[in-house]
Amino acid sequence: MFATPTFDDLNVWAALPLIMLGLGTCVLLIADLLIPKDKKLYTAVLAAVGVIVSLVLALAQATGAAEIGESGTAFSGIFVADQFTYLVNVIVLTAALIGILVSYDYLKRTGNERGEFYTLMLFSAMGAMLMGSSRNLVMIFVALELLSIPLYILSGFRRPMEQSEESAMKYLLLGAFASGFLVYGIAFMFGATGSFDLPTIWQHAVGILNGDMPGQATLLIGIGLVLIALGFKVGAVPFHMWQPDVYQGAPTPVTAYMSVVAKTGGFAALLRVLATGMGVVSDGNAINAWQDTVQLMAFITLLLGNVVAVMQVDLKRLLAYSSIAHAGYILIAVAAGGSQGTQDAAVQAALIYLLAYTFTNIGAFAFVVAMERNDTSGTTLDDIKGLANNNPGLALAMAIFMFSLTGIPATAGFMGKWFVFKAALDANLTVLAVAGIVTSVISAFYYLRVIMNMYMVQGDARPAMKLKPALRTALLITAIGTILLGLQPYLMTDLAQDITLAIVGH
């Protein structure tokens, strides 16, 4: 007779932040129908409260401040409850909370204040959280769609503006192709190993890559197709083509949000698949089917992202190519995770980088929101000349973000790069680490040019309008977070130190 599993059997409490966010989002969807069009502040507040509740639970899990569920698996083994999951949840929920603050005033002044915006944002956050906690390939696909579909809609939220609609269409079409690659890759991996479960795939991959079992070509094709799909999601070269146009055409708060959440979800799934499913060690020797490919992707991503960013004069496109470049830095950590003995340190470095990037990049886009006029003008380098004279606080915040993206000491960005380069050196990927350092020097040109225009060039730049409390709070949180994580890196390292992703389930 079939026995109905209990809450304890399912370990439901381990997924409590995700469950609470899902319930809160469904309640928000209904509640918004009852909120008048001129009172959408209540919708934003309800969304923020839901995120804060989930964030508090996620922090309690990540820091061990409360025993919420048990580490291990949940929901019949398809959900992983471990330190990696907890930290991904913290990153995504932090990005969602700041994203709500950045969005409210923008939506109001552009006449796009519709409650479904926040619902879509939170559903997308759920998808990113699921990508970090999935131990099953089918679950990863479902999570990817839950992450992506709301972002397609949000990209076109400023309809009937042609730029916004065009960005949504490009993102949808190319995203659909990426989803197709993922499904096809999953099918090949299942054909080679007979399982969707990542630890089971790992067990079969040992024999397959050793040559003891058939299906090596099938497995390698599957890995390649999955890399293409997730490479698209994180904006890695050569799967980056969508990113500059979508980032420029989408509403700026959406760009700020997707630049962090989509990247976090994509890298979380990539690390799960490669480190847990394909981190193959046999007889003490690493048999790695993907490290060289990821190294090549990281190198060309670093090079193209930073070099092309030098030529940009629009801040949104500059930050789009900057985002591509930063995907390259995180890919260095992913590649380092393919070397025996450095898997855990590499995964920790990747998540530390993503946490630092969350504050820095959303803050930079929040600055663009403050400068952008309702007709989307006001975002070029010429439009920020002399800003420090008229609004020194806003200029200082942007300077902090630019220093952090460059990797200047005492900022979160410096600590993120430090751990990534250290992981690469520990994995004997010296050439890749040197490439990261050299391209960081290149990036200093276009990041410091932004600061120079604000402080050293004559002009009369001003924000598009007086900064409202929500946007001002978002800028303050991101600026303080960027400095605090740079001066007190243990706030990040303590959360990441217990991550042992590479051996989960083995």
Question: Highest mean pLDDT: which of 202-216, 295-309, 455-469?
Answer: 295-309
Please work out, in degrees rounded to the nearest 5, the angle formed at the alpha carbon of residue 64 by the alpha carbons of 424 and 339.
20
pLDDT at 402: 94
Q: Which pTM value belongs to this model? A: 0.92
pLDDT tens track for 152-194: 999 988 887 888 888 889 999 999 999 999 999 999 989 988 8
Spatial separation of the C-alpha atoms in residues 182 and 10, rounded to whole Å: 28
Binned at pLDDT 50, 70 and 90, residue 493 comes out as: confident
Q: For residue 334, give the H/E element and its range.
A: helix 315-336
Average pLDDT of the chain is 86
pLDDT at 146: 93
For residue 2, pLDDT beyond 60? no
For residue 284, pLDDT beyond 90? no
Which residues lie closer than 8 Å to 195 by C-beta, 6 or more apart? 201, 204
Determine the average pLDDT of the residues in 453-460.
86
Q: Indicate the SS3 state at residue 458.
A: coil
Q: Are 310 and 445 in contact (CB under 8 A)?
A: yes
pLDDT at 504: 42
pLDDT tens track for 234-265: 989 888 888 888 998 889 999 999 999 999 99
pLDDT at 279: 57
pLDDT at 70: 54
pLDDT at 66: 54
pLDDT at 506: 41
